[in-house]
Amino acid sequence: MEDHFVYIWIDARYPINLFYIGRHKGLVEDRYTHSSKLFTKFYKDCIPKGIHRRILGRGTEQEMVDLEHRLLINRKNKCWYRYYNIHTGGSYGWRIVNETISPEVRLKNCIKGGQAFKRKHDSDIDFAKNHQEMARKSSLNGHKNGTMKSIHDYYSWVGKKHNEETKLRMCETHKNNKHQKGSKNSQYGTMWITDGIYNKKITKDSILPDGWFKGRQPFKRAI
């Protein structure tokens, strides 16, 4: 059963502890961590060393809105510099803000957020590497503990196919976004090489290793 609760993340990776107070509707055990723009991003199943969470209270939604707000006001008046929070909770919560705007504006904001993430990901090598490693660890842990399942565990395409209308729509979409054309092709700028037994891909401007030549050796099928 879903619950409303207030939590605090304690970041002990620095000479002085830093904190983030938040509120969530859901299960204490779910994968949600926080919505801070300043605090380290991570998933519940791969929490960085030196960071841990405490639950400060549970109750109705309004009770937790009030509790979060009171705690943050108290902290703002005493040691706000040690908190990742930007606002003092209450009506600034992500869900409350998004429930008061139209679906069109919400979608627009989501698109902006996605574009901002892509710019950060494409321009900051360290950020991209950290995000990829975090996603990889989360996926591995999810599969190990059973919280993340393969699509094949609950869906099968066997015996199904796209209808003609869907095929036409897919074709038009690919034409418009130039899907897999030019530099958008996943194999762009690469070539096959072989040593007569093994095949592999390299970039076209790479020097051929000794004993290798362009092309690929077809696999022999067992008779």
Tens digits of per-residue pLDDT, 85-136? 887 765 545 555 555 567 777 677 778 777 877 887 888 888 788 878 877 8
Distance of CA 16 to the CA centre of its chain: 29
pLDDT surpasses 50 at 223:
no
Residue 101 has a pLDDT of: 61
pLDDT surpasses 80 at 190:
yes
- Identify the band that residue 54 occupies on the pLDDT scale cut at 50, 70 and 90: very high
Which of 70-84, 97-111, 141-155, 171-185 comes out lowest in average pLDDT? 97-111
Residue 156 has a pLDDT of: 78
Structural domain boundaries in the chain: 1-100, 103-155
d(CA 15, CA 27): 32
φ, ψ dihedrals at 134, nearest 5°: -65, -45
Q: Cβ contacts of residue 3 below 8 Å, gap of 6+? A: 25, 26, 27, 28, 58
d(CA 64, CA 6): 6
Q: Which two tokens stand for residue 167?
A: 């095929």
Q: What pTM, to 2 d.p., does this model score?
A: 0.46
Residue 222 has a pLDDT of: 44
- Average confidence (pLDDT) over 141-164: 78
